[in-house]
Amino acid sequence: MRNIARKLGAAATSLYWYVSSKDDIYELMADELIGEIKLPKQQSADWRAHLRAIAIETRRTLSRHSWFPVLGIQPGLGPKTKGYGQAASAPLAARGIERSEWINILGTLNNYINGFAYRESAWNRLQRQSGLDMRQWQARLEGLVERTADQNRELAAQTADRMVLHGDYSFEYGLNVVLDGIAARLARLESARASSDLPQSATESGA
């Protein structure tokens, strides 16, 4: 709270003139950050492209605010968070997906994005705490892999691969996996819905 007040140029206790607790401040901070995310101006009929665009912009915004992952889960009752949810859910709701389904689908996507943001933030913090610049940090990591290779080449190769799990390629890879899973889920839901409609259609045609 003191750090927040300092940045606002106010006394820490004065913040409580406007909010009842620090949790309320965290909620306001989260809502303001979510308002920075650039959302599609129009709803797309292509749900996958729509969610991909939102996911990429969300990650891009979170990467500018390393403090966000440590706030934890917020209630998400602010107007900007509400607008974000409406934009993300629109193409799924338009397909006739039930509310409980699309909420869980978007929850899965958000869990991935926030989990990745946490990894990315933690990795960048580790580099800053080392006191090394990026070139020195990279040299240190390469030295670690080389020393590991002297003992176990397979482990060294795995270690090298893990060291880039916070980058763009890794985010895109994971995002594709999540979207593939959503696509499979939607296909099953729509197939089940079509199957449940068959008896009624057959009865009507027979009549």
pLDDT at 100 over 90: yes
Helix residue ranges per DSSP H, 36-167: 47-63, 79-94, 99-130, 134-151, 153-162
- Map out the domains of the chain as residue ranges: 38-190
What's the mean pLDDT in 37-41? Answer: 91
pLDDT of residue 80: 93
CATH topology of domain 38-190: Tetracycline Repressor; domain 2 (1.10.357)
Instruction: Give the span between the Cα atoms of 141 and 160, in whole angstroms.
Output: 8
Residue with tokens 């915004």: 61
pLDDT category, 182, cuts 50, 70, 90? Answer: very high
Q: Which of 10, 40, 46 is nearest to 25 (CA)?
A: 10
> What average pLDDT does the chain have?
84
pLDDT at 207 over 50: no
pLDDT of residue 17: 60
- pTM above threshold 0.75: yes
Residue 116 is encoded by which pair of tokens? Answer: 């990745």
In total, the chain counts a number of residues equal to 207
Cβ atoms 25, 19 nearer than 8 A: yes
For 8-37, how does the pLDDT look when each residue is reduced to its tens digit (9 = 90+)? 676 666 666 666 677 777 888 889 999 999
> CB under 8 Å, gap of 24 or more: what pairs does 18-21 form?
none
What's the mean pLDDT in 102-109? Answer: 96
- What is each CA distance from 15 to 9, 30, 64, in whole angstroms? 11, 17, 25
